[in-house]
Amino acid sequence: MVRGMVVSLSMPVLVLAIAVAASYEGAPRVTSDSPEYCSSLAARVAVMPAARREPSKSLAAEGVKLCGSGYPRAGIAKLRRAVKAAQVEP
């Protein structure tokens, strides 16, 4: 009997909790640490002429490899270095 009461009480509570969680949007999210951003950054490096030379070339390759291995943060950092290097080179 007690178990039945617990079940009958817990159901509405669970529903309320789900509703509250759904209505809470949470903090705004920074999207520049996602695999999608990794791809867009790789595409940006690829079209830069200077990125075909070292060290941009190898940095970009390492970045793409890290993103593909599930390390988007490290991959994005490498790709950013590649972009920077490509901008600095003549």
Partner 1 sequence: MPDDSPPALAPPALPPGVRRPRFAESGPGAPPRLLKSAGFRFAVVFAAMFTSAAIALVAVLWWATAGALDRQTDAAIRADAVALGERWREGSGSGLAEAIEERLAVDIENEAIYLLVETATMKKLAGNLDRWPAEAEATNWFRTRVSHDGFEVEARLHRVELPGLRLLVGRDETEREMLRHLLTEGVIWASGAVVFFALVGAWLVRAVLQARMRPAFVTTAAIAGGDLSSRVALSGREDEFDRLAQTLNTMLDRIGTLMAGVRGVSDAIAHDLRTPIARARGKLEEALGTARDEEALRAVIEEGISDLDNISRIFQALLRIAEAEAGARRAAFGPFDLRPVLADAGELYEASAEARGQMLEVSLPDPLEMVGDRDLLLQAVANLLDNAIKFTPAGGTVRLAARRHAQAITVSVADDGPGLAPEDRSHAGERFFRADRSRATPGSGLGLSLVLAVAHLHGGALLLEDAKPGAAQPGLKAVLQLPLP
Footprint of partner 1 on this chain (CB under 8 A)? 25-33, 37, 41, 44, 73, 76-77, 79-81, 83-84, 87
4 or 25: CB nearest partner 1: 25
The residue with tokens 């490899």 is: 65
Give min distance, CB of 8 to partner 1, in A: 36
Q: What angle do CA 30, 85, 55 make, to 5 degrees?
A: 115
Give min distance, CB of 59 to partner 1, in A: 11
Question: 10 Å Cβ neighbour count for 57?
Answer: 16
